[in-house]
């Protein structure tokens, strides 16, 4: 069992963010001690890590909630599968764009100049 501070450390999320996700319905009902302090178990930590991953993929909280709700039943509709494939392509395109930026930076670092000088 983990305190909210320990959950924050393990997930690299702020305590306020964890509380917000709980209020937003992204977490199942978190157990509480008699003193009202939250107690997180390993599945809660894993869910927070999954939420973090989905947020990094630029899913909105509503989309995250939808996918988490579907994950409970393991019944993704064909529309949901298609939506996830579209999102995957979007992420791949973003990665390609970032790779182009990295290649440009590497080229400029190798040349030792940022802007080419006109003679």
**What's CA 50's distance to the chain center, in Å?**
6
Quote the CA–CA distance of 90 and 58 in Å, as a whole number: 10
What per-residue confidence (pLDDT) applies to 118? 59
What per-residue confidence (pLDDT) applies to 81? 79
Express each pLDDT in 3-39 by its tens digit.
999 999 999 999 999 999 999 989 988 999 999 999 9
Is residue 116 pLDDT above 70, yes or no?
A: no
Is residue 117 pLDDT above 70, yes or no?
A: no
Please classify residue 74 by burial: count the beta carbons closer than 10 Å to its beta carbon, then call 0-12 exposed, 13-18 middle and 19+ buried: exposed
Quote the CA–CA distance of 94 and 54 in Å, as a whole number: 15
Q: What is the pTM of this model?
A: 0.69
Q: Nearest-CA neighbor of 83 among 66, 95, 61?
A: 66
């Amino acid at each position: 069992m983990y305190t909210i501070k320990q959950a924050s450390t393990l997930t690299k999320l702020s305590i306020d963010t964890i509380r917000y996700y709980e209020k937003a319905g992204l977490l199942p009902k978190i157990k509480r001690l008699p003193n009202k302090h939250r107690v997180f178990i390993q599945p809660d930590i894993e869910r927070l890590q999954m939420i973090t991953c989905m947020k990094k993929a630029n899913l909105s909280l509503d989309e995250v909630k939808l996918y988490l709700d579907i994950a409970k039943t393991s019944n993704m509709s064909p529309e949901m599968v298609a939506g996830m494939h579209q999102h995957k392509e979007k992420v791949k395109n973003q990665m390609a764009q970032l790779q182009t930026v990295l290649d440009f930076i590497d080229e400029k670092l190798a040349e030792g100049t940022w802007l080419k000088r006109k003679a």
